[in-house]
Amino acid sequence: MRDPYAVLGVAKSASEKEIKSAFRKLAKKYHPDAHSNDPTAAARFNEANQAYEILGDKDKRAQFDRGEIDAEGKPKFQGFAGGDPFGGAGPFAGQRARPGGFEYRSSTRAEDFDADSIFSSLFEGAFGGAGAAGAKRTTASGGFSGARRAASKGADIAANLSIDLEDIVSNEKVEVAFASGKKLAIRLPLGVEDGQTIRLRGQGQPAPAAGSEPGDALITIRFSPHARFRVDGRDLRCGVDVPLRTAVLGGRVEVDTLDGRVALNVPAWTNSGKTFRFKGKGLTTKEGGRGDLYVKAEIVLPKGDRELEELMRERSNEPAAS
């Protein structure tokens, strides 16, 4: 694989925010869903994802910059320094000695997910943002054997998952199917975003060698278009029909939300276009709350109302008020 900095098109001095922004742009540009007729799109998408796996993780980025791992995240053999097989620049650089051998350490990113996300596994590695559980460290003993296991990790698998807005707020599990036929029931993380990629550690292809780690499962979330609501960040927007009589005299109309119907109290003399807010009826946020629902009144004239028609004709013939 190419240098991850070159893949994302950022400088080595780029900030975390710049790296994340570059990855989001490439993921959107080359997502297979948007380029089903372009056989190179999937490869570019996977390449960008692999690059972000390195640069989006502080520890891995530092290891890559120091030359300890390659562009695929695999440990590099760096030789022995000064004839000392356990010198600081040797293959065990950055490892902690312990009785009976050495402890090989690597790090993975864990963001946006809780321990309830998939069966007994953890949701890890979304490029969302808030809600991160922080970097975790996994430990495998055995010096070179640890490096070999890391190098022989199983292949990742990927799938796209289209969800309804109702799925986001229901807290129910949804099922995702992979091309291999594997299916997983997952719970969506709070504040899940359209285009977000969720990483499920250890749910990919089995490792080719005994004792090695299995690959990961990558799930890209897509919001299905909704017949009533328009997404505005974590808020929702929609319109509601208000009969002319209700708009003039005031009254109640029912409004559909993602959680069911609620009553809207329409004050007298409500103009078309007036917007009402229902707090906490939008999409989930990473902090555990909900956005709001904004409802715009759309006044509907009574069809075929002859009395109203005659009244308007009479009014139109009245002299203007002085």
Tally the domains of the chain: 3
Kindly state whether residue 93 falls inside one of the protein's structural domains.
Answer: no
- Determine the pLDDT at residue 82: 46
- List the single range of 62-66, 165-169, 232-236, 296-300 with lowest mean pLDDT: 62-66
Q: Supply the CATH number for residue 111's domain.
A: 2.60.260.20
Residue 264 lies in a domain: yes
In a shared domain, residues 189 and 258: no
Q: In this predicted structure, which of 82-86, 215-219, 253-257, 301-305 has the lowest mean pLDDT?
A: 82-86
CA distance 159 to 156: 10
Confidence of residue 135 (pLDDT cuts 50, 70, 90): very low
Beta strands (DSSP E) in 117-243 are 123-124, 136-141, 157-163, 173-177, 183-187, 197-200, 217-223, 230-232, 235-243
| Tens of pLDDT, residues 157-216 | 999 999 999 999 998 999 999 988 899 999 999 999 999 999 999 998 888 887 788 999
Report the alpha-carbon distance of residue 243 to residue 121 in Å, rounded.
52
Residue 311 domain-assigned (yes or no): no
pLDDT at 140 over 50: no
Among 31-40, 88-97, 290-299, the range scoring the smallest mean pLDDT is 88-97
**Across 66-86, average pLDDT:** 67
Q: Which of 100-114, 143-157, 195-209 has the lowest mean pLDDT?
A: 100-114
Give the residue, 101 or 36, on which the prediction is more confident: 36
Written as six digits, the tokens of 53 are 């796996």
Domain assignment present for residue 60? The answer is: yes
Residue 51 vs residue 209, higher pLDDT: 51
Structural domain range at position 172: 102-143+152-225
pLDDT given at position 79: 53
Tell me, what's the pLDDT at 76?
76
Torsion of CA 86, 89, 94, 96, to 10 degrees: 10
Q: For position 292, what pLDDT does the model report? A: 97
Whether 113 and 201 share a structural domain: yes
- 263 has pLDDT over 90: yes
Q: What is the CATH number of the domain that holds 54?
A: 1.10.287.110
Residues of the chain with pLDDT > 70, as a percent, come to: 73
The model's pLDDT over 211-260, given as tens digits with 9 standing for 90+, comes to 788 999 999 999 999 999 999 999 999 999 999 999 999 999 999 999 99
In angstroms, rounded to a whole number, what is the distance separating the alpha carbons of residues 106 and 4?
18
In this structure, of 16-20, 30-34, 209-213, the range with the lowest mean pLDDT score is 30-34
Do 54 and 119 sit in the same domain of this protein?
Answer: no
pTM higher than 0.85 for the full model? Answer: no
pLDDT at 96 over 50: no
DSSP 282: S
Q: Which residue shows structure tokens 């505005």?
A: 232
Same domain, 216 and 260: no
Q: What is the pLDDT of residue 223?
A: 95
Mean pLDDT of 56-71: 88
| Distance (Å, whole) CA 153 – CA 151 | 6
| Nearest of 222, 176, 208 to residue 32 by alpha carbon | 222
What integer best gives the mean pLDDT of the chain? 78
